[in-house]
Every structure is written in C-alpha cells, then in structure tokens.
C-alpha cells in the first residue's frame, strides 16, 4: 500500500479557507469534513486537513502558531509545467492569497510562493528532470539556493 500524507493546518475561518483551497484546485471530501474541519484532497495520496483552532488544539499541547508572523513550515508542491505554477499562483491571488516573495527561475526549476489567508506558505514548483543530467550531488541544491 502506498503511504498517504495528511497535512493538518489550523485556520481561523473554515469556510474562507475551504473556498481558497477549492479555488487553487483541491476538492473537499465531505466524508471527512464537518463544521470543525474540512478534508481537502490534493491527490490520491495527499490531503490537507483544514482545522479550526479549537479542533487543531485537540491534537497538540503546543500553542497554535500565527503563520502570518511565524514560519512554521514551507509546503512545496510539484506542478506539471511553468504554466501550471503560474495558474495555481494566480488562482491563489484571486482568492485572497498573497505572493510573499518573487518567483524563482533557475532554468531547469521554476517556482513561486503563495500564502493562504491564514499565512500558510505553499510553493508550487516545476522541475525539468531531464535538464538536470548527471550533475554532482549537492550542485542542484546549491544552485537553487543561489
């Protein structure tokens, strides 16, 4: 069986967050959603659980981070093309998101950064694996960080 991932995010306004994630292409799974959380399906193996702060607190003894002022995680999601990266970003911007940094274009890799209404940062990216060739280990990481 393939492993699945469920990314759990605290949200201040569940309806607003659900609309945002629907706008960027995720689908709500009603079977795992209620008035305290929405299961948003990204792929067969990846879902994003949008949880009200009260619901989120049930799973951790720690304070809920304010992602508008604190970096908690950067979520990178692959896209099929540069155009798909731009389409996701533009949909996010039209749905209440913002772009916290400039796009990154390294030729073989292209990415943008979007912030949802609760401050969670997603980074849609496209990479041309064929263009990487036989580069030595670490070279790609160093180039992407430059």
Mean pLDDT value of segment 32-41? 97
**41 in the same domain as 74:** no
Residue range 79-128, pLDDT digits in tens: 999 999 999 999 999 999 999 999 999 988 999 999 999 999 999 999 98
Are 77 and 15 members of one domain? no
Helices (H), the chain: 14-23, 53-57, 82-94, 129-132, 139-145
Q: Domain range for residue 69?
A: 65-146
What pLDDT is stored for residue 143 in this prediction? 60
Instruction: With beta carbons less than 8 A apart as the criterion, state whether 7 and 59 touch.
Output: no
Show which of 42, 63, 84 is a domain's final residue: 63
Same-domain status, 9 and 28: yes
Q: What is the CATH number of the domain that holds 51?
A: 3.10.180.10
Same domain, 55 and 111: no
Tokens representing 95? 């749905």
Confidence at 129, pLDDT banded by 50, 70, 90:
confident
Closest CA to 109 of 135, 85, 73: 85
**Number of domains making up the chain:** 2
pLDDT digits (tens, 9 = 90+) for 43-87: 999 999 999 999 999 999 999 999 999 988 899 999 999 999 999
CA distances from residue 38 to 49, 87, 145 in whole angstroms, order as listed: 6, 23, 34
Q: Same domain, yes or no, for 53 and 101? A: no
The average pLDDT across 5-34 equals: 97
């Amino acid at each position: 069986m393939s492993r699945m991932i469920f990314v759990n995010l605290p949200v201040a306004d569940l309806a607003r967050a659900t609309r945002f994630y629907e706008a960027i292409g995720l689908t709500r799974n009603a079977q795992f959603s209620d008035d305290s959380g929405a299961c948003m399906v990204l792929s067969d193996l990846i879902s994003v659980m949008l949880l009200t702060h009260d619901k989120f607190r049930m799973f951790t003894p720690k304070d809920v981070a304010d992602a508008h002022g604190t970096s908690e995680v950067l979520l990178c999601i692959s896209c099929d093309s540069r155009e798909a990266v731009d389409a996701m970003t533009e949909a996010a911007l039209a749905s209440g998101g913002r772009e916290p940094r400039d796009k990154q274009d390294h030729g073989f890799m292209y990415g943008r950064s979007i912030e949802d209404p609760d401050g969670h940062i997603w980074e849609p990216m496209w990479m041309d694996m064929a263009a990487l060739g036989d580069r030595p280990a670490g070279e790609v990481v160093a180039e992407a960080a430059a």
